[in-house]
Amino acid sequence: MRFNTRLIHDAQPPDPLTGAVNPPIYLSSTFRQAAPNRHQGYVYGRTGNPTRAVLEATLASLESGRAGLAFSSGLGALATLLEGFPSGSRIVAGDDLYGGTWRLLDHHRRQFGVRAEFEDLGSRPVVSRLLKTPADLVYLESPTNPLLKLVDIAEVARQAHRAGAVVAVDNTFATPALQRPIELGADVVLHSTTKYLGGHSDIIGGALVFRDRRTASRYAWLQNAVGAVPSPFDAYLVLRGLRTLGVRMRAHEEAARAVASALEGHRRVRAVHYPGLASHPQHALARRQMSGYGGIVSIDVAGGLRAALRFLRRLRVFTLAESLGGVESLVDHPATMTHASVPEELRRAHGVTDGLVRLSCGIEDPSDLVDDVLQALRGA
């Protein structure tokens, strides 16, 4: 079956008891046992739940993995992933990451003695230099948050595996509708299901998908031990969102393309970051490893912080809020919001200026979104 058909049918057959076309929501914290350790596959809600199991199987299938695990947030998924890397482990990570990801990796560096290095993984010479010596984990985003830089996942995976490292890719921005990192050589895919997979700004969730079952089994033990699991209702909401992921991503991309094209070359915009633009330095890589370019556009507003704040105040359709990937358009100021935990000198060094604004283009009419950003720029 093709991808959009699989979104609706993979691992989600009608309920055999009732014929319900939606997976039932099992709101039970515990399950009856016929005798001690004689049960029907479920014991306790933290360890496993039938609704969550359907979500995990669906995510694994869509990401071309062998097994998936669902969590209560994207950072809950990352925290559990890092539990597998003890003190002294060497982690090579991208230098343009979601602020919460940077904060957690830096915490493990300071608190637990993990050797975390933040570098530009979009540069082949940098990757070659970093992976000449053994590593335990290579962690990356592609496209990155918030600068929309790309990483050649296949090339990084090849070099990382030669260095003995596991490769984990945060695929939140692209989703499996546009990019499947395991097919490119990655070992683990991470998602904040809060974003495009849920798609309606009504849940908080995360997920890990694994290339092999052995690694997944080890992390299933950690999932149960750490306990950062989603509720059955949140699992159901992500399943509901997945069913429209394909059509939503097309609409998000249509809007983002329109906004990026309208702002490219605008006299009040220093730079437009969007991999769908031919001017993007990694546009050829985007065409090669993605089937679409996504719904996020970042712009650097001329005039710095004051101009960016005036721009934010004047927006009428875009809502100033953290998060992204919902049906409504959201706008974020990374330096003071999602990336405020990153020290200022590091933000600036990586290109996250005070004038940078991240636009999450929803599924409204693209013309209305274009009109909104243009009128806001006039007053900035």
**Residues annotated as part of the active site:** 46, 98, 170, 195
Tokens of 256: 């983002």
H-state helical runs in the chain: 3-9, 50-62, 74-82, 99-112, 124-130, 153-162, 175-178, 213-226, 232-242, 245-263, 283-289, 304-314, 344-350, 366-378
CA distance 237 to 353: 35
Amino acid at 72: S
User: What is the pairing mode between strands 137-141 and 166-170?
Assistant: parallel
CA distance 56 to 298: 31
Helix (H, G, I), strand (E, B) or coil at 35: strand
Amino acid at 310: R
Residue count of the chain: 380
User: What is the pairing mode between strands 296-301 and 90-94?
Assistant: unpaired
The answer to whether the beta carbons of residues 63 and 176 sit under 8 Å apart is yes
Cβ contacts of 162 within 8 Å, gap of 6 or more: 131
Q: How far is CA 157 from CA 11, 139, 224, 318, 326, in A?
A: 28, 10, 29, 37, 30
CA distance 67 to 212: 7
In sign, the C-alpha dihedral spanning 271, 272, 275, 280 is: negative
CA distance 47 to 124: 41
The answer to whether the beta carbons of residues 90 and 138 sit under 8 Å apart is no
The answer to whether the beta carbons of residues 140 and 149 sit under 8 Å apart is no
Tokens of 85: 């890397």
